[in-house]
Structure 1
Amino acid sequence: MSGALIAALFAQKLKQKTAQHAKQLEATERSADESTRLTKLELLEQQQERRKELEKEILEREEHLRQRENDQRDRDNNLNEKEARIITREEHQALSAKRLAEEMRRVKRYRDAYRHRLRKINNWTSQEAIEAWREELRTSEDELVKEIKREVLLESEQMYRHEAQRILIDTMQRITATPPNEISATLVQIPNEDMKGRLIGREGRNIRAIESATGVTLMIDETPGSMLVSSFDPVRREIARIALERLIKDGRIHPVSIEETVTQVRDELKDSVIELGERSLLKLRLHGVHPEIVSLLGKLHYRLSNNQNTLEHSIEVAYFCSLLASELGLDPDLAKRCGLFHDLGKAIDHDYEGSHASSAAMLLKRYGEDERVVNAVAASHDEVAPSSVYAGLLRVADSLSASRPGARANALEGYLQRVRSLEDLARDMDGVSEVYAVQAGKEIRIIVEPNRMDDQEARHLARTVRRRIEEELNYPGTIKVTVIREKRFVETAK
């Protein structure tokens, strides 16, 4: 009994010791974990501080490298500038050396000439020598003045020619023009043969009514599904086209409905004319234009000049004037108005007498346009003297628009035939050496032999050629005749 008790007590004490030992071990582990955690935190903080120090050091080094790169770039730029200055200085030195060599050769020639002259005048008297030297000085002075003038004129001519060519080429390249339409007839589609018969009408009464109301010629052949409206007046042709399309769509075709439809289309076309004029002003960003001028601008859409749409031509000339004015430092808006209104007289009826240029000028002056615009339009055909630079600007822009390739839809064969006829007509005249038709056949230049023809005969030749052109040739617009008679002096040094 006592042994079992002792064993139980011993087991109990052992259990207590074991529990105490486990608690101490657990406390020790907790303490070790806490110490480890604190150590990790301290290491983490140290790492973060070290990282910040390294990042700061990296930024400082990058800034230092950037500064060194900037310094190196500045040194490179300075070296490039010095190298460019050295090259320029070397070029100037080479040019100066070349000029110096030329001057030395020139001085040597003069020195040799003077020595030769001195050897010749050994036997002259003093008075003869003085007179000879005075004559020599006057001759040398005149030759020097002429040479300087010739060099200055040549340099200025080249400079102005290059600048003018640059301005004109830059201006022309910025214009994209719509190609012209060489038409005097319009095709109207017909849905079927029955409709074609109804348009013709009994014994042709409907087609005669259409031609009478519109003033056009209708041509119906065996070609299926089409009818040709022919007229040289584009306004009449447009009215007939719209009226035919409406009659075909409506289906009621008889003389009364034809007359009513044509009248309605003609009235609507008046509103369309105003819309076209306003659209052209909007395209050019112009304002302050009188309504009467707007209406006349719209009418230009239905006018052709050498098969070129007059309104499109006027808008193109306005663009040319604006671009040229911008290049020359002038007012581009004022130049636009000159270009847009220069052919306005082609839409004016018989209320204004005179040419289309003078009629347009009178109308523009009546409605308060700028005097420079009025003068430029009036001077566009040399009828009045130009009073401002805008008149010359308009002439240049008009020539650019009219003479560029494809501007006016003349048939190629007809154009070549006209040019050949002009050249052949002038080449047959006595004393003519060369003939050139230029400006798309608008000007003929005749070079005569100066030893066979004097100035008075050259003037008479120009009048004779002009008269023969008027009598023998058919041509649109005007043709300028220029006769050139040059005097040439040739000497041969041996």
Structure 2
Amino acid sequence: MGESLYIIISGLVGLGIGALLVGFFLKGNNKKIEEEAKEKAKIILREAEMNAESLKKDRILEAKEKYLKLKSEFEEEANKKKAIIITNENKLKQKEQVLSKELEQIKRKEAELDSKKENLSAQMHAVQVKKDELDRVTNQRIADLEKIANLTKEEAREQLVEMLKDEANTKASSHIKDILDQAKLSATKQAKKIVLDTIQRTATEHAIENCVSVFNIESDDIKGKIIGREGRNIRALEAATGVEIVVDDTPEAIIISGFDPVRREVARLSLHRLVQDGRIHPARIEEVVAKTEKNIDEEIVEIGERTCIELGIHGLHPELIRMVGRMRFRSSYGQNLLQHSKEVAKLCATMAAEMGLNAKMAKRAGLLHDIGKVYPEEAELPHAILGMELAKKYKEHPEVCNAIGAHHDEIEMTSMISPIVQASDAISGSRPGARREIMDSYIKRLKDLEDLALSFDGVNKCFAMQAGRELRVIVDADNVSDQTASQLSFDISQKIEKEMQYPGQIKITVIREMRSVSYAK
């Protein structure tokens, strides 16, 4: 037990000594750790201070840069506004100077006007004084004359009137005698004119054959729809197309009369569409005619292009192609002008090939030799010269131009193609053409008649009817009144009498139609 106690005590003493030793060791170690922690804290504080100082400097620099940038933008904006203000001030100063000059001019003109007014007043006063003096002198002279002649003013006037009557009767008798003498001298001329009028009237059948189209209908009931209430539909159709629509007792047929074949074709196709549609009234008629005219123009171009392809002619100007298409609606010596021109082109190509010349160029000249006949505007030049000018305008070869202009010997031939075109034209048109020449002059007279009426102000459209015996003139209702329309009809008749030669008489009908248009929105 003693040993156990000793061991226990020894263990306790050892534990105590060990605890003391551990305490001394831990105490020394803690001091060392504390010192190291303090050193690290100082280092961290120094680094934090350095970082804070660096960050402060960066923020100060950023703030300065932003300040300088804002300052620069502000100064730039301020300079711009200042420049705008200066510009506006300069403009205002210029306007003030201009206004000052204008004001000075106005004042100067006012002064000039006042001066002129004063001068005019003085002149008027002087004129009035002279007028009073002239009246006084005139009255005095009249009184002196009455004393000398022992006649009053009324008695002198009566004697003068009697003397003038005797002189007028003498001159009238002399004038009547001169008229009778002139009538005797011109009797032969008048007789020849009557004979010519008779000859022209005998050509009516031929003119009707070339100036009339027949529109066939299924039944005569359609004629009433085409005429319309009180004839308004047929009047609208004639006014829109420029032809005369004849609705008579001919069974299942309506006659379309007009010297322009294009107008007749437009009228025929328009009637066909109206009859098929069934809606026939003035507004619908105008719409259908406008569409038909557009379709005819497209068909003319298509005919011209098809003809060029058929003949193998390339590079033709579009306007020349259009004129070639218009030939389809014209006649030459009783033959369709397009067929005549195609025949001439083929003959030219054959002759040129036989002679070793340029067949394509000869064919081109043959096709275009009569384009002057289908020029849409009336010209004073012969058709050969006009065709040559058109070919030059659209850059055709000089040899082609010369062949066109020389095919009637109106200019000198300068190439071998020219006589070929002339010979081919003579071959194609070898049939007698006297009646056709009369027809050409007849058509030209109708066109001249329309052009004469169109030369008056306020005339919108003009159409020659009944083989030139009637002229229908459509005027603008806004610019021509009813009274003016009556005077216009008389003026046109007087101008026709002075400037044109024609058989019989011509009826001038002026049509003034008032239209009121409103829109519902």
Shorter chain as denominator, the TM-score bin is 0.3 to 0.5
Rg larger for = 2
TM-score by length of 2: 0.42
TM-score by length of 1: 0.45
